[in-house]
Amino acid sequence: MRGQDAGSARIERNTGATEDAASHRSAIQAAQVFILRRTLREPPPYAPADGSYRAVAAPLWRRGVASGLDWVLAFVAFLLLSIPFGILQTLGDALGGAAGDALVVLAQALALGVIVAYFTHFLSAGSTLGMRALDIHVFAHRSGRAPHLARAFARSVLALAFFLATLTAYRLIRGYHGPEGLSDLEELLRSVALAGALVALGGQLWKLVDPNGRTLWDRLTGLVVVEDIVPTGMPDRLWTPWGT
């Protein structure tokens, strides 16, 4: 009897595990179907307050590819300008003391400032180089014009913060940290960085449910990213990021 009871218990546990796995797969499939449907939906229309043109929200995949291109270009600029900044940091390490620490911090801030400057400059012009390659535009949502420098700067700082959070989370999760593992401070930093990365992803995926096709970060900074811009006075002509 005991053997039969143990066998029945094992069967019940295996059945429960199988049902849990099936439920998990069903949830994943449902999420995939939802994301696919929302991605392929008709893009929400957009028009500025003055009605000077009409457009539609840029799809998530175009924005993703454009963002990838921009980060590659920004990283190249970062590498090139890291040479003089690295010299400045080495000088700070050699000096030591408060002055040396100040030089090190300045060098690191300038290096990160290159990325912020890249995005701020091009966002304030209405399209980054990656956006131009994908034929999409970024505007202030209300005016429908190129974002003010302050909005472009805020969006650039936000992008850099989320990028650093994602990079830090990946390094602390996937990297090798010796036989002793992570310290308590690094454990905390990993949790914070991972939370930041998930918030960044969630804000981007918000576009799938937003009635205007905007991400949460678009709404936070008052921006809209669009494509297929047609001037009201010239309904047969499309605007392009190259000014033609």
pLDDT one-digit tens code per residue, 112-168: 899 999 999 999 999 999 999 999 999 999 999 999 999 999 999 999 999 999 999
pLDDT band at 15 (very low <50, low <70, confident <90, very high): low
State the SS3 of 97-132: HHHHHHHHHHHHHHHHHHHHHHHHHHHHCCCCHHHH
Instruction: Examine the pLDDT at 244 and tell me if it is beyond 60.
Output: no
Q: What is the pTM of this model?
A: 0.76
Residue 147 DSSP label:
P
Per the DSSP assignment, residues forming a β-bridge with 226 are 57, 137
Strands 45-46 and 137-140: unpaired
Q: At what angle do helices 60-95 and 97-124 cross, to 10 degrees?
A: 160
Percent of the residues in the chain that have a pLDDT greater than 70, as a whole number: 79
Extended beta strands in the chain, E state = 45-46, 53-57, 137-140, 223-231
- Coil, helix or strand at residue 139: strand
- pLDDT value at residue 203: 94
Average pLDDT, the chain: 84
What is the spatial distance between Cα 238 and Cα 244, in angstroms, rounded to a whole number? 8
